[in-house]
Amino acid sequence: MRIAAGCILTLLFLSGCGDDAPQADADPQPAAGTIREHAQSSIAPVTGPLAIGPVTFFQNYCARCHGDYGWSFNAGYTAGLRDEELLERVHEMVVGPAQQRLGEREIRALADLHRAIDAGDAGSFAARTADGSIDALPGTKDPEALLEGRGAWAGTDASGRVFGEVDSRE
């Protein structure tokens, strides 16, 4: 009985994520290897806006299981994770349940989005997208100011620490 229930829950989980949202137009991840291996290969300088809006991607592919803007995550869920562990988990969810392929920068932006979500009301996040728009978490005060002097994305955690892509063009 437990095995049958587990199989049903697994099928519901896998069938509920990412089926009807449009495919992200991003540089695909190579099929083999992990995000950690890809990240260690090289850290590319800023090359412009992101191919996807991380907040919009989360809402389209992740919110069915994790709630709007991640409301179902437990507080502090990213606190004990090193950056590489969070990157790996986000990558696994993108290629697994979401069934999408994103570039390294988009995976990194999604990982930072998770840190901002984990900060609750104290967190903020904004990203510049290829279509010229700014994709931000609700409640982010002045996304333009948050992005000032940054790369394609930036966020804050509960302590007010600013993180994100560093603009190497300066």
- pLDDT per residue as tens digits for the range 6-38: 433 333 334 444 444 444 444 444 333 343 333
pLDDT over 80 at 82, yes or no:
yes
pLDDT tens for 38-71 read 333 333 444 689 999 999 999 999 999 999 999 8
Burial per residue of 8-47, b for 16 or more beta-carbon CB atoms within 10 angstroms, e otherwise = eeeeeeeeebbeeeeebebeebeeeeebeebbeeeeeeee
3 versus 79: which is more confidently predicted?
Answer: 79
Closest CA to 146 of 169, 167, 170, 168: 167
User: What's the confidence (pLDDT) of residue 30?
Assistant: 36
Higher pLDDT, 137 or 170: 137
Higher pLDDT, 78 or 122: 78
Q: Is the pLDDT of residue 90 over 70?
A: yes
Higher pLDDT, 166 or 37: 166
**Domain residue limits at 46:** 2-166
pLDDT at position 21: 43
User: What does the pLDDT read at residue 137?
Assistant: 95
Q: pLDDT higher for 34 or 167?
A: 167
What is the mean predicted confidence (pLDDT) over 65-83?
Answer: 90
Phi and psi for 16 in degrees, rounded to 5? -90, -5
pTM given for the model: 0.72
170 vs 167: CA distance, rounded Å:
6
Q: Model confidence over 98-120: pLDDT tens digits?
A: 999 999 999 999 999 999 999 88
Q: How many domains, in total, are found in the chain?
A: 1
